[in-house]
Amino acid sequence: MHPIAFYIGSLSIHWYGILIAIGFLLGFWTASRRALLYDNLPGEMVADLIPWIVVSALVGSRLLFIWQYPEDFQEATFWDYVNIRRGGLVFHGGLMAAAATVLIYVRVRKLPLWRLADALAPSIALGHVFGRLGCFMNGCCYGVACSLPWAVHFPEGHPTAGVGVHPTELYEAAMNLALYGALAWQYRRRRFPGQTFAIYLISYGVLRGAVEFLRGDYLVHYFGWMTVGQVVSVGVLVAGAVLWGMLPRVASVKADGEVSSAAEPPGKAGRSRKSKERSS
């Protein structure tokens, strides 16, 4: 745990912010290259989304953190609400806010939603790797007590009081890195638009829900055992499963419509249109 990377005068620069920034940069860079190389989508299509995704992800993740840990903001000032240099972001909130922003953006700009979502999906997992490394350096999102050889002992003054705990931040970072590799491989072999994104949602819901069983920083549990992260992870998993079942049919219907339009003789098409105009 080393929260502060260096100082610029009296201003402390925290590892959390540095690693979050690296995650965003690598995520957008890999997504833009993937979209261009394998889906013939212009790199600027992803680049234009960067400010929208960054702002919405930060706002959404901060709002969910404030809702999840209200005890930290009982006597907070405005600066306390917006200061994220020392942490205070919840990934699920950022994912939901960014997804909503992308949905609105592509509808307005008339862009291919699911092809773009597929290009972004592996890079979301990659960016999250660095986010979890930032959590580890910050000392947040820690695990429950354990006596395993790789148990982490945070320094004096940490809420764990020097007791060895599961390094859940590193568990999730490693899982997200593996997920990134799997999704990058699957992206080039997907069978319908949106498949890679659906796999990401399902996979992340499972891995996050599993890691949450070892988290030790939650004060509130639903139904006596379920964390907030697990509740949201169930929703993420269900959303991925719904997309997995729905999108192949959407792609099939669209393909059938395109084939029918292409097969219809030009003269017949013209007569059909005139007939429809007269009947209307």
* Confidence class for position 48, pLDDT limits 50, 70, 90: confident
pLDDT of amino acid 49: 87
Structural domain includes residue 153: no
Residue 43 has pLDDT above 90, yes or no: no
Residue 261 has pLDDT above 60, yes or no: no
Contact 132, 211 (CB under 8 A): no
pLDDT of amino acid 265: 58
Structural domain includes residue 268: no
Mean pLDDT over residues 77-106, rounded?
87
The CA–CA distances, whole Å, from 96 to 31, 53, 128 equal 18, 11, 14
Residue 279 has pLDDT above 50, yes or no: no
* Confidence class for position 271, pLDDT limits 50, 70, 90: low
Structural domain includes residue 209: no
Structural domain includes residue 91: yes
pLDDT of amino acid 206: 97
Phi, psi of 226 (to 5 degrees): -95, 125
Structural domain total, the chain: 1
pLDDT of amino acid 224: 84
Residue 70 has pLDDT above 50, yes or no: yes
**By residue range, what is the domain housing residue 108?**
4-147+164-186
Residue 269 has pLDDT above 60, yes or no: no
Structural domain includes residue 71: yes
Q: Over the chain, what is the mean pLDDT?
A: 87
Residue 264 has pLDDT above 70, yes or no: no
Q: What is the pLDDT of residues 129-174, one digit of tens each?
A: 999 999 999 999 999 999 999 999 999 889 999 899 999 999 999 9
Q: What is the pLDDT of residues 176-186, one digit of tens each?
A: 999 999 999 99
Task: Return the minimum-mean-pLDDT range out of 87-91, 146-150, 173-177, 264-268.
Answer: 264-268
Q: Which token pair is 245?
A: 């079942």
Distance CA 273, CA 276 (A): 5
Angle (deg, nearest 10), helices 91-109 and 50-68: 140
Structural domain includes residue 201: no
Q: What is the pLDDT of residues 196-213, one digit of tens each?
A: 999 999 999 999 999 999
Structural domain includes residue 191: no
Structural domain includes residue 49: yes
Give which of 200, 73, 65 is closest to 126, Cα–Cα: 200
